[in-house]
Amino acid sequence: MPDQLTIIDNPMANAIRFLSIDAIVRAQEGHQGVPLGMAEIATALFGEHLRYNPKDPLWPDRYLFLLSNGHGSMLLYSLLYLTGYEKVSLEDIKRFRTLDSVCAGHPEYEPEAGIEITTGPLGQGIANAMGMAVAEAYQRARFGAQLVNHYTYAFVGDGCLQEGIGQEMISLAGHLSLGHLILLWDDNRITDDGATELSISEDVAARFRVANWHVVEVDGHDIAAVSAAIAEAKEDQRPSMIACRTIIGRGIPRVQGQRGGHSARLFDEDAQAAREALSWPHAPFQIPDETLERWRAAGQRSNAEYNAWTERLDKLSVQGRAEWGRIQSGALPHNWKAVLQEYKRRVINEGDVKAGIFASAEINDLFADIMPERLVGCADLEAPTSHKRALKAFTAQDNSGSYIHCGVREHLMGAMANGMAAHGGVIPLAVTYLAFSDYERPAMRMAALMGLPSKFVFSHDSIGVGRNGPTHQPVEIIASLRAMPNMYVFRPADAVEAAECWEAAMELKQSPVSMIFARQELPLVRLEMIDENLSSKGGYILEAALAKREVTLIATGSEVAIAIEARTYLEAAGIRTAVISLPCWELFDQQTLGYRQEVLGEGTLRVGIEAAIRFGWDQYLGIDGIFVGMSGFGLSGPADELYERFGITAKKVVEQVKQRLSDRSFQ
Ligand SMILES: Cc1ncc(C[n+]2csc(CCOP(=O)(O)OP(=O)(O)O)c2C)c(N)n1
């Protein structure tokens, strides 16, 4: 590791520095540490290695660049402007951190502008990068290197590598030998709180080495050295980490190399002092023509490769082009809905009970051949979730498998799914138990924020888990996922609804979904085949009242069967009762007022039934509604005994309804 760092003033690197300084001074806030410390690294990468075309930012075989240390966003915006991305103008840079500027505080997913992913929560970006590298390797195995042969680069700070998800990524990327993944570490030995030695003492590079990574250590201010390291990394079959020793905030004498280098407020005097220190006589936001031309030329460095790639695409057979075009556009194969209709018909004919998650597994099997773009990751719960059966594993030796054994690494799995979705051309599914969705939550939130169609699939959704006990029994999690903007939460009641929810979920192209399935067996609640997808309305009348409705039982998932049983008793007692299945609140809320009023039964006594907490239900139940569900954590015991213990039974529903109706009649 070099201790004496080379200081060669390169105008291209300094152009990044001064755009960043000027924007941060103007905004009166921002993080100068990364753009000033990584300016030479960025110059080496964008000037000599990255394959990209600012005139066609979505070129499918471009090299991907992620700024995992997203707080250093001005580095990215400077690069995008300098290399000629039309959506990032000098005016946008002047409006850094102002409302509606593409130059937001942290990079916000906008691939047309060259922003490949939203970053900010440290660690997510490098895990996204790994997902992209898996998607690339899988597509390369499928379509051949003449169409797919790109690298994913990520800049990463100490923060990303201190986060636990960082270690999950190091471990699995090394195991899978993802040779097209290259990290450049900003080894400046400073975080927000000061020197890294306050909180870490291990040899970070060694963690990569033992996990089967190619590691090079270089002076991060020496463009030639960084460039040579990148060239070496590209040749290595393993993923690479280039540890770049840098000075945080390099160029501003008052803060460089210190804690304040990270994000201390910068003033005009700092900008002036930097201009003197780096011999940069130009006015704020002014890049000398010659330097801008060099950067613009760098932006066109891949034109020949771009044209050659386009020609190769043109030479594909009609069929080959059609399939390539389909998966790139995210269009689904023409017969996918017919497969689901057929499944609905079959399960109704067979009439079997089956575990909720196994209905999803069967649907997953049916998609195996017709939807090869699906990539399924599972966090070591293959047997109880069964989403591998029809799929081959993606391994270091064979990248053509579409099932990724994620090991017990849920944080990573969720973020990888987002990276795959952002990469495009693949449909990612991440499978685990619902109780462990909390380990994926940061990624789920990022998917919702970015509008990425990642599919999060969960089993073991309630006290129905049984004897594994309360650690494994979600109670508050469904409500918490429903609280997340742009997250669609599906909880199907049986195999028919499972097919319908799958269909609705696949059609959501700008939202992630949480597909929540029961571990326990679910009897069919939908006994008649109809072509219409009732679940796509989010909620519907499953069983109407025999005459004018007095009571509305509203349930989701495994509790729909309880509602049906309760209705039978109530109708027998002359209490006119309807059952509403409400598998997806977000879709239901989008229906017309008239439809929602009809389904929810205005003026009737409404009862919500869900083996989870009440939070959120009152919007459907009204002021005197009843809720039958959980009010705390579960217990360890057989599932049916737990349902009895917590009073989530048809008998209890009936009792409460009768009690409330008699109370009402005395009012
Ligand atoms: C998950 C998460 N935790 C905390 C933060 C707040 N934060 C932003 S930057 C930073 C320091 C990161 O240090 P490093 O990666 O070394 O960046 P540098 O100091 O080199 O800019 C912290 C703690 C965050 N963005 N994400």
User: DSSP letters of 343-362?
Assistant: HHHHHHHH---EEHHHHHHH
- Ligand 1 centroid to Cα of residue 98, in Å, is 21
Task: Give yes or no for residue 6 having a pLDDT over 60.
Answer: no
pLDDT at 506: 98
For residues 121 and 441, give the distance between their C-alpha atoms in angstroms, rounded to a whole number.
12
- Ligand 1 centroid to Cα of residue 449, in Å, is 20
For residues 129 and 120, give the distance between their C-alpha atoms in angstroms, rounded to a whole number.
14
- Ligand 1 centroid to Cα of residue 123, in Å, is 9
Residue 410 is a catalytic residue:
yes
Task: Give yes or no for residue 56 having a pLDDT over 60.
Answer: yes
- Ligand 1 centroid to Cα of residue 6, in Å, is 26
How many CB atoms lie under 10 A from the CB of residue 518? Answer: 28
Q: Which two tokens stand for residue 582?
A: 């409400």
Q: Is the CB of 188 under 6 A from ligand 1?
A: yes
Are the beta carbons of 23 and 74 closer than 8 angstroms? Answer: yes
Q: Is the CB of 583 under 6 A from ligand 1?
A: no
639 φ, ψ to 5°? Answer: -55, -45
pLDDT category at 1 given cuts 50, 70, 90 is: very low
Number of residues assigned to the chain: 667
**Percentage of the chain with pLDDT > 90?**
97
For residues 588 and 291, give the distance between their C-alpha atoms in angstroms, rounded to a whole number.
55
Per residue in 529-542, pLDDT (tens digit) is: 999 999 999 999 99
Catalytic residue of the set 108, 116, 362, 410: 410
Are the beta carbons of 292 and 82 closer than 8 angstroms? Answer: yes
Per residue in 279-311, pLDDT (tens digit) is: 999 999 999 999 999 999 999 999 999 999 999
Residue with CA closest to ligand 1 atom 8: 71
Q: Is the CB of 249 under 6 A from ligand 1?
A: no
Task: Give yes or no for residue 73 having a pLDDT over 50.
Answer: yes
Q: Which two tokens stand for residue 352?
A: 């079997």
For residues 459 and 206, give the distance between their C-alpha atoms in angstroms, rounded to a whole number.
37
pLDDT at 264: 95
pLDDT category at 641 given cuts 50, 70, 90 is: very high
Per-residue pLDDT, averaged over 64-68, amounts to 98
Its pTM stands at 0.97
Helix (H) / strand (E) containing 195: strand 194-195
Closest by CA to 74, choosing from 266, 241, 273, 302, is 266
pLDDT at 7: 57
Atom of ligand 1 at shortest distance to CA of 121?
A: 26
* CA distances to 86, 123, 176, 562, 607 from 612, in Å: 49, 31, 38, 14, 14
pLDDT at 667: 64
For residues 566 and 40, give the distance between their C-alpha atoms in angstroms, rounded to a whole number.
70
pLDDT category at 2 given cuts 50, 70, 90 is: very low
Closest by CA to 577, choosing from 595, 542, 553, 560, is 553
User: To the nearest whole number, what is the mean pLDDT of the chain?
Assistant: 97
Maximum Cα–Cα distance across the chain: 90
Q: Label residue 285 exposed, middle or buried (CB < 10 Å: 0-12, 13-18, 19+).
A: middle
For residues 223 and 249, give the distance between their C-alpha atoms in angstroms, rounded to a whole number.
17
Q: Is the CB of 248 under 6 A from ligand 1?
A: yes
Q: Is the CB of 362 under 6 A from ligand 1?
A: no
pLDDT at 352: 85
For residues 559 and 628, give the distance between their C-alpha atoms in angstroms, rounded to a whole number.
10
Q: Is the CB of 186 under 6 A from ligand 1?
A: yes
